[in-house]
A and B are shown apart, each in its own frame.
Chain A
Amino acid sequence: MKLKLGQAAPDFTLPSHLEKDVTLSDLRGSNVLIAFFPLAWTPV
């Protein structure tokens, strides 16, 4: 495990399916639930 509880979450900016980038640190002030998920799904 690289990260531990109580540590600052590494910041990131990623493109989203809703057509704009999301930066974690922009969301300060609200709790954030990050869900990593394996998609394993390919469009036809």
Chain B
Amino acid sequence: MAGWNAQVLGISVDSVPCLIAWAESLGGINYPLLSDFWPHGAVADQYGVLRDDGKSERALFIIDKKGIIRYIDIHDIDDQPDNEEIFAELRRIDPEKAASAPPVPKSVELPKGGIVMYCTKWCVDCRKARVWLQERNLEYTEVDINATPGAGQQVREWGDGHLITPTFDIEGTIVLDFDEQRLKEVLGK
């Protein structure tokens, strides 16, 4: 949502380790997921969205630049919020920014040849893999799956439905995960 000049914050009542694990299972989430774990649901309660069962409702609040609440939407717990509706609201409260927002990116061609590493900025194994490659003076191309349209889908296809980072495409040979043994085999090192 960078183009909309809106900072997205996700909030759930789960603990930080749980959020980290969840984000990793999704292949990374690059906006902060906040843990409203202790005191349990205190912020959800302040915002009136804490349920009796201790979970929060699925709810959206848009806060403007001055800290004023401009939009409130509380969904049924099983409902996915509608992105278009949110964009429309952001356009309404900030028309200037909305006008300059970039168009929705289309899939781009993914790099081929040499070592291509599909990763995220934050993923720990990607960080290790970068160091590993650099230590061996191996040239590689990095594809940020969060910033490259179509990349996540490609990784999911390779990973049999799983979004595994890092995933390597080495001259057409796919290596899932930072698997040093397998990388050494494929690279002949």
**Residue ranges of A at the interface with B (Cβ–Cβ < 8 Å):** 1-12, 14-18, 22, 24-25, 27-43
Contacts and interface: CB of A to CB of B under 8 A. Distances in A.
B57 A38 contact: yes
Given A16-B35, A37-B56, A6 B63 contact: no
Contacts of A3: 47-48, 61, 69, 72
A12 B46 contact: yes
A27 B9 CA distance: 11
A35 B67 contact: no
Given A9-B68, A12-B42, A33-B62, 20 more contacts: A2-B46, A8-B67, A9-B63, A16-B35, A18-B122, A22-B32, A28-B67, A29-B65, A31-B5, A31-B94, A32-B8, A33-B7, A33-B9, A33-B63, A33-B86, A35-B59, A36-B11, A38-B12, A38-B77, A41-B22
Contact of A35 (B8, B18, B46): B8
SS class of chain B's interface: helix, strand, loop or mixed?
A: mixed
B67 A39 contact: no
The contact size tier of chain B is 35 or more
